[in-house]
Structure 1
């Protein structure tokens, strides 16, 4: 009787521990050259699973309820839908020539994909895959198209541009342009939606934008080839990756000044932050690693090996 009780207690302890570990957010990393997605447990900062889903995954988004993962795949010009319960692809939706950045609205209803060779942003229903529009933008070779928190706007960046293109989601058309510097890349909105930050790669500058007026309110010098943007859940810090410097900078949004710089791997690209804001995950495209940064100390605490040419990270 005692042995049975002890075994039952140990089993409960084990499953309770396993449940706690599994409850930690997972980071999903598309590896462009490997054609895989690395799944990192953020509790242990180790790769627990590698998914073989598409030929060349780049843009990545996850449904708010965690049921689906969405990926752009360049060779097939499509958006791949993955059921996360099984880890298997369940749908493939055509997008256009050379799709890249992919984003989902906060309510999980809409997807926006930057389609480079079409110079457009594809807007789709996230559940059915129905294409609602291919919205032409002024910038050539669009790379990112990010929803504002209220879902009213899409801000789009492009490799051959010196502006951020503003799309009215309800009207499904571009309605404004915000002058910045050459080659705008990563874009992020503060949680309250009042500001957006965009990194300009050739301009080596991050621009703070007032969303209500679609105007620049500050320009912040960054490192060489600034590109990725991530914003803390409390909106107090913006993180920017500097590709040629192999660093990540932290910007205080109260003052729009740089408050710290962290060395990471080669060619840091797109990034994501945990829901509690404690850790930042940086995809290092030329090191085939993800650097984990402790945001409190602004120190790199681990480099996690992943596949070849990691493009970015999403966390849930």
Structure 2
């Protein structure tokens, strides 16, 4: 009798754990910066439904969830009523118009969807990333060729790092020791040492580098070359380009799968000739093994931690495509705000 009772208890515990794990999975969220709407859309990662639309600063371009999942950082141009032109509405020939007004990075509490901090940074902020330990946020300032480093606890800028011309996208290495910055108009990738908070190298990459992405194993860095319709592959040890891979028109954001085997590249195209695809690059053959049709103006891309889904913002279609990574097809299209650009998912 005791054995049967124990078995029943174990079964109940296992079912409870499964239910808890399912609830945790259902709580995962996707955050989308809607540049033309001055909002951040919050999507449920399980149902793909829109949970909230959070008003933020003017022309939010990029978002990043902190490693603990508690805060979302979003780059923008300050208060919505601030007099400033939208600088990311259209990326024609991979260039943005510079602006003189100071930008900002705002922090959103993920439990309440409330804005809890507003930190001034440099002019024309583009992308934001957070260090693996959650201590610092790094923001590219295209208007003055710098990267702002924000202390996430103190919520203030603690360093300003000069980099290449018109820095746009950036990512931090998996070990947290380096940040790679795509200098859109400089044709280079800056390497920042995160311990000293200084630029230690500039790597010639090609024309119009828009964003960078590390493989999770830290071995390779891929760079989208928006003016070459290609991706440059950098060996992170030698800091040299070892090859280039042709993709779609005006590639912008790119992201690796957790197993370091595949990179997804969003091909935005132009307003007159929108790109509608995501290229999947096999990192063993360095060839595009699949081209997935998404929506007009494929711009931002992120892959969830399990490697099951990729989320792609369609800038000109005001939507997000959900791509099944294994089946290599779109399984859902979700309407969001106007001009979606950056996108991030709960770690």
Alignment of 1:14-33 (within 5 A): none
> Shift of residue 149 of structure 1?
0.7
Q: How do 1:136-147 residues align onto structure 2 when only pairs under 5 Å count?
A: 136-138=120-122, 140-147=123-130
Q: 1:65, CA displacement in angstroms?
A: 7.4
Give the paired residue count.
253
2:105 maps to 1:121: yes
1:144-192 deviation digits (Å, cap 9, x = unpaired): 1110111111110133221111111111011111111111011111111
Q: Using the TM superposition, give the Cα deviation of residue 115 of structure 1 relative to its aligned residue in structure 2, in angstroms.
A: 0.7
Map 1:282-293 onto structure 2 (within 5 A): 282-286=265-269, 287-293=275-281
Q: Over aligned residue pairs, what C-alpha RMSD do you find?
A: 1.6
The residue aligned with 1:269 is: 252
Alpha-carbon distance in structure 1 between the residues aligned to 2:33 and 2:152 = 20
1:91 matched to 2:79? The reply is no
8 Å Cα contact 2:26/2:44 also seen in 1: no
Q: Corresponding residue for 2:182? A: 199
- 1:181 corresponds to which of 149, 158, 164: 164
After superposition, give the CA deviation of every residue in 1:26-74 in whole Å (9 maximum; x if it has no partner).
xxxxxxxxxxxxxxxxxxxxxxxxxxxxxxxxxxxxx997721111223
Distance change >3 Å, CA 302–CA 125, structure 1 → 2:
same
- Deviation of the 1:84 alpha carbon: 2.7
Question: Is 2:274 aligned against 1:294?
Answer: no
Which runs of no fewer than 5 residues in structure 2 stay unpaired?
1-23, 80-102, 270-274, 305-347
Please, which of 255, 261, 274 is the counterpart of residue 278 of structure 1?
A: 261
Alignment of 1:1-20 (within 5 A): none
Q: Tell me the distance in 2 between the aligned counterparts of 1:179 and 1:90.
A: 39
Aligned equivalents of 1:64, 1:162: Cα separation in 2: 39
Could you list the runs of 5+ residues in structure 1 that have no partner in the other structure?
1-62
How far off its partner does 1:301 sit?
1.2
* Equivalent residue runs for 1:1-316 within 5 Å: 67-116=28-77, 119-138=103-122, 140-286=123-269, 287-316=275-304
Once residues 196 and 135 of structure 2 are traced to their aligned partners in structure 1, the CA distance between those partners, rounded to angstroms, is 13
Deviation per CA, 1:204-231, whole angstroms, max 9, x where unpaired?
Answer: 0001110001111211001101111110
CA deviation after TM superposition for structure 1 residue 86, in Å:
2.5
1:117–1:202 Cα change, 3 Å: farther
TM-score norm. by structure 2 comes to 0.70
> Structure 2 vs 1, CA of residues 273 and 65 (structure 1 numbering), >3 Å: closer, same or farther?
farther
The runs of at least 4 aligned residues of structure 1 exceeding 6 Å deviation read 63-66
Contact 1:111 1:123 survives alignment (8 Å): yes
Q: For the Cα contact (< 8 Å) 1:161–1:183, is it kept in 2?
A: yes
Q: Is the CA contact (8 Å cut-off) linking 1:116 and 1:143 kept in structure 2?
A: no
Q: 1:186 to 1:309 in 2, by over 3 A?
A: same
Q: TM-score, normalised by structure 1?
A: 0.77
Preserved contact between residue 124 and residue 132 of structure 1 (Cα < 8 Å): yes
